[in-house]
Amino acid sequence: MSKIASVKAHPIVVELKTRYWTAHEGIATWSVIIVEVQTDDGVIGYGEIHGSPQKGICTWVERLGEYIKGMDANAHLPVWEKMFGVTHPRRNGIMDQDGMPPPPARSEFPQVLGALGGIDIALWDIKGKLAGLPVYKLLGAENRPILSYSTGGYYREGAPDNHCAEEMAGFIAKGYKAVKLKTGAGPLDVEIGRIKATREAIGKDNLLMLDVSGAFSVHEAIRFAQGAEPYDITWFEEPLHWYCQPADYLQLAEATTIPIAHGERLTNRFTCRDFITSGGIGYIQFDATRFCGFTESIRVAELANQLNVKIAPHHAPEIHSHLVAAYPEHGFGCESHGDPERDPTFYHLFSERAQIKDGYVHMNDKPGFGIEIDRKFMERYKAK
C-alpha cells in the first residue's frame, strides 16, 4: 500500500504584460498553486489550485497534508472525507478528541476547499501512476479529442469597443471552432455591438459564448439576452449577481432562448445540485481546481449527465479534459486561452501536458493526468 508521505504547496504568480478587465475585476497577474503529494514509495502526484489568497490556501494545504499523512494514497474517498470533515462540527470533535482541528471560521471555507481540491487532484494523479493508466481510463473513457473554446474579448485600456472581433477571428484562424466573449461591462447598445461584430468576424459556423461575470440583475440579464439572441449564442455565462439563486436563474432561462451556463464559483456538489435540478441552467461549469477537487467534479458531472445538463468545466483543460471524456453525450468541452500572454502558466509551466490543436484538447497516454512540471519555471515565478 502506498501511503501519503508529504504534501507541499508551490504558489506561482506571473505578471501579465497587459492589464485586462472583465465586467467584475481587473487582472494584472496570472497565478496557480501547484500541489505536490509524494508517497512513501516515491510516487509524486501533481494537483492545481486556482484561487486566492494564495498564502491562506497554502497554509491549509500544509495543515491538511499533516492530517492525511500516512493514509492510503489510493483511497481517495476516505482522504477526501477526512479533509472535508474539517469544515463542519463532528461528534467527538471538541477538545481535540479526534485529533483534528475545530472547524475554521466561515470566511476561510474557500481557502480550505481550494486546498482540499488541489490535494485531491494530486491523489488522482497518483492513482493513475500507481495503476499505470491515464485518469480518463480510470473513468472508463477513451482517448478522444475534446472540444476546447478560447476565451477572449477582455477589456483593455485604450482599446476600441470592437477590438474583440479581430481577436476572436484570430482564435478561429488558429483552428478553434468555438470562442467565448467577455462582455457585460458597458452600455447595452455598446455590448450588443461587440457581440454583433464578433459574430460577423468569426462567421456563422463557429460557436460563440458570452460571459458577463455576474454583471446583471434578473431584469437586466433578460434585456441583454434578448438583445443577443439574433447572434446565435451557445450560452450566456454567469449572467446574474453573486447573490442570485436557482429560482432567479430559472426565471431568466424561461425568458430567453439562450441556454444559461453557471457553476465555476460554486464550491460543492450541494450548491451545484440545486442549480442543476432547478432546470435553470443548460451547462454546468464546476471547477475542480477552485474547490473540492476531481472527486467532487465527478459527483457533479454524474448528476448533470442524468439530467441532460452539459458538462463544461471552467479552465484547466489539462485536468478537466479527462472528466469531459467520460461523458460522451453530455461532455461539452473545456475552456482554454488561445493567447499565451493571457495564460502563461498553461503555456510555460508544464514540460508535459495535453495539447490543444485545431480547437481540440488532445490528451496523452501517460499515467495520471499526463502532466510534468517545468521546475525551472516554477522556481522562477514562485511567490515569496
Counting every residue written for the chain, the total comes to 384
Specify the 3-state DSSP secondary structure of 292.
coil
Specify the 3-state DSSP secondary structure of 132.
coil
94 and 209 in a single domain? The answer is: no
Q: Are 286 and 117 in contact (CB under 8 A)?
A: no
175 and 261 in a single domain? The answer is: yes
Confidence band of 103 (pLDDT split at 50, 70, 90): confident
CA distance 154 to 13: 20
Average pLDDT of the residues in 233-256: 98
Confidence band of 96 (pLDDT split at 50, 70, 90): low
Alpha carbon of residue 223 to chain centroid:
28
95 and 164 in a single domain? The answer is: no
Confidence band of 97 (pLDDT split at 50, 70, 90): low
> What's the pLDDT at 92?
72
294 and 214 in a single domain? The answer is: yes
239 and 170 in a single domain? The answer is: yes
Range of the domain at 30: 4-133
Element (H, E) at 13: strand 4-21
189 and 287 in a single domain? The answer is: yes
Looking at residue 326, what DSSP letter applies? T
196 and 320 in a single domain? The answer is: yes
246 and 217 in a single domain? The answer is: yes
Residues 190-227 pLDDT 10s: 999 999 999 999 999 999 999 999 999 999 999 999 99
Residues 264-287 pLDDT 10s: 999 999 999 999 999 999 999 999
Q: Are 51 and 9 in contact (CB under 8 A)?
A: no
**Kind of pairing, strands 146-152 and 360-362?**
antiparallel
Average pLDDT, the chain: 96
> What's the pLDDT at 95?
63
> Which of 274, 275, 281 is CA-nearest to residue 254?
281
CA distance 134 to 229: 40
Final residue in a domain of this structure, among 133, 167, 182? 133
Residues 127-143 pLDDT 10s: 999 999 999 999 999 99
Final residue in a domain of this structure, among 116, 133, 150? 133
Specify the 3-state DSSP secondary structure of 151.
strand
CA distance 114 to 354: 23
CA distance 39 to 6: 7
Confidence band of 353 (pLDDT split at 50, 70, 90): very high
All three cell numbers of 200, joined, read 460577423
118 and 265 in a single domain? The answer is: no
For 283, residues 6+ apart whose C-beta sits below 8 A from its C-beta are: 235, 237, 259, 260, 261, 262, 263, 309, 310, 311, 312, 332
| Number of Cβ atoms within 10 Å of the Cβ of 94 | 10
Question: What CATH number should be reported for the domain holding residue 193?
Answer: 3.20.20.120
Q: Are 181 and 195 in contact (CB under 8 A)?
A: yes
250 and 336 in a single domain? The answer is: yes
Confidence (pTM): 0.96
Number of domains forming the structure of the chain: 2
Final residue in a domain of this structure, among 103, 133, 163? 133
Give me the residue label for grid cell 456563422. Answer: 204
Question: What CATH number should be reported for the domain holding residue 48?
Answer: 3.30.390.10
9 and 124 in a single domain? The answer is: yes
**240 strand-pairing partners:** 216
| Number of Cβ atoms within 10 Å of the Cβ of 376 | 10
> Which of 236, 291, 234 is CA-nearest to residue 261?
236
223 and 109 in a single domain? The answer is: no
Average pLDDT of the residues in 78-100: 83
